[in-house]
Amino acid sequence: MTNESEVTAFLESRAEAQQAKDIDRLMSCYSPEIVYYDVVAPLRFTGTDEVRRNFLRWFDGYEGPITLETHDRTIVTDGDVAYANMLHLDSGERKGGVQRSIWVRETVCLRRSNGTWSITNEHISIPIDPTTFQVWLPAEKDQPA
């Protein structure tokens, strides 16, 4: 396998774990040194304990499974380092809050050690509307293809 196909398979396995809310399988993707910038506060989560708790909180916000569609993904690798950037359309049924699909931007940074890739940094966000300082939810006409 090339590095790029390894990272592609890694990210597809991670997406399956997210959608199935399989916390142990999901956490196996992360380095012990993970620094995670999430959509929601605080500024960052560091280490697997904080990241695990935050994923469980995320899982708990949905009635059933989480539906994620990946769009416009690019993967770049050399040696034992890789990064990937993508958009996610998140359309699971939430227990409260916004009841519609939400576009999220994601950057994933990976290292390979002893032949195994793991995520050292992850960054997820929603852009804000600079006039209202609220979350920006694109109208149909402004959505990515």
Phi, psi of 34 (to 5 degrees): -50, 135
CB of 57 to its own copies, least distance (A): 9
Pair type for strands 116-125 and 30-37: parallel
What stretch of H or E contains 12? helix 3-19
Name residues contacting its own copies, limited to 36-55 (CB under 8 A).
37-44
Does position 107 interact with its own copies (CB under 8 A)? The reply is yes
Pair type for strands 30-37 and 45-46: antiparallel
Nearer of residues 65 and 138 to its own copies, judged by Cβ: 138
Q: Taking phi first (over 0 means left), then psi (-120 to 50 degrees means alpha), and beta for anything else, what does residue 97 get?
A: left
Does position 138 interact with its own copies (CB under 8 A)? The reply is yes
Of 5-13, 17-25, 48-56, 107-115, the window that binds its own copies (rule: CB under 8 A) is: 107-115
- Residues 131, 99, 68, 37: is their CA dihedral positive or negative? positive
Residues in contact with its own copies by CB under 8 A are 35, 37-44, 72, 74, 76-83, 85, 87, 97-98, 103, 105, 107, 109, 111, 120-121, 123, 125-130, 133-136, 138, 142, 144
